[in-house]
Structure 1
Amino acid sequence: MHDLKIKRVYEPYDERDGYRILIDRLWPRGISKEKAHLNEWNKDVTPSPALRKWFSHDPKLFAGFKQAYEMELKDNIHVIWFIEHIETLLKEENVTLLYGAKSPTCNHAIILKEWIETHRGVENESSRNNDGRAS
């Protein structure tokens, strides 16, 4: 199994990043698609616009932001697929979640990575039929 990492999209590309996924709702300012070296841009697992606006990357609000974003992840139908997608990719290579925020310690990528690591391999019963098949 390979590593799941997070990295600021403005940091230089490194081949050890493996499969690179931008996990921001908005395209990061001042960076070209070529320089970003993306394999994928996933907006479906990012914080809602209202939550992002409320948080505004204020470190004093991070605990509340984390709690609210985790609630959004819990209720987000795209998260199950995304976790399964990450698990599949990690069998072949590293996966790097890219974010545009300035702070390496106060951003949604930290929360999403932790969420993925906590929920990997956990079968979500609500997405299964009674016979165990995916619905």
Structure 2
Amino acid sequence: MKIQLKRIYDDTAQNDGYRVLVDGMWPRGIAKRDARIDEWYKTLAPSKELRQWFGHDRERWQAFRKAYLAELAEANTVALDELREIARQQQLTLLFAARDVECNHAVVLKAYLETCDDREKKR
């Protein structure tokens, strides 16, 4: 499984592979025609309430992570399965707008996809 994370504001690269925006809202300052994304999976973003509560406050990171994992467990399994399949076949780049590259929902989503894939392989 090949998944990398990247801010949508960063330059595109040849090794980006399939580029998927995973934010619930369109990022500020990026025109849709210039985004160079293959898909926008906004349904996999954290709920508005959770996102607003977190507010990228690092002191809330662990609680946010736990709550978002619970949301992912209840999320659209078709979308999650599609992302896993893409990552099995080619490089998948999850795009996000957050400034903090270590504590954001895409980090959690990437780990969730990888963990679920590992569980499936062990079956």
Q: TM-score, normalised by structure 2?
A: 0.90
Q: Secondary structure at the match of 2:20?
A: strand
Higher mean C-alpha deviation, range 103-112 or range 89-98: 89-98
Structure 1 position 37, deviation (Å): 0.6
User: Aligned pair 1:96/2:93, yes or no?
Assistant: yes
Amino acid at match of 1:108: H
1:36-85 CA deviation, whole Å, 9 max, x = no partner? 21000011111000000000111111011001101111122x1x222321
- 1:9 maps to which residue? 8
Q: One-letter code of the match for 1:70? A: L
Could you tell me whether the CA contact under 8 Å between 1:21 and 1:41 is conserved in 2? yes
Match of 1:128 in 2: none
Structure 2 unaligned spans of 5+: none
Give 1:61-100 correspondences, 5 Å limit.
61-76=60-75, 78=76, 80-100=77-97
CA deviation after TM superposition for structure 1 residue 116, in Å? 0.3
**Aligned-residue offset at 1:92:** 3.4
1:38 is aligned to 2:37: yes
Percent identical among aligned pairs is: 38
SS at match of 1:118: helix
Secondary structure, aligned partner of 1:44: helix
Count how many residue pairs are aligned between Structure 1 and Structure 2.
Answer: 120
Contact kept? 1:13, 1:36, Cα under 8 Å? no
Task: Out of 90-99 and 105-114, give the one that drifted further.
Answer: 90-99
TM-score when normalising by structure 1: 0.83
3-state SS of the aligned residue for 1:120? Answer: helix
Say which structure is richer in helix: 2
Q: Which has the larger radius of gyration?
A: 1
Segments of 5+ residues of structure 1 without an aligned counterpart are 124-135
Tell me which amino acid in the other structure corresponds to 2:114.
E
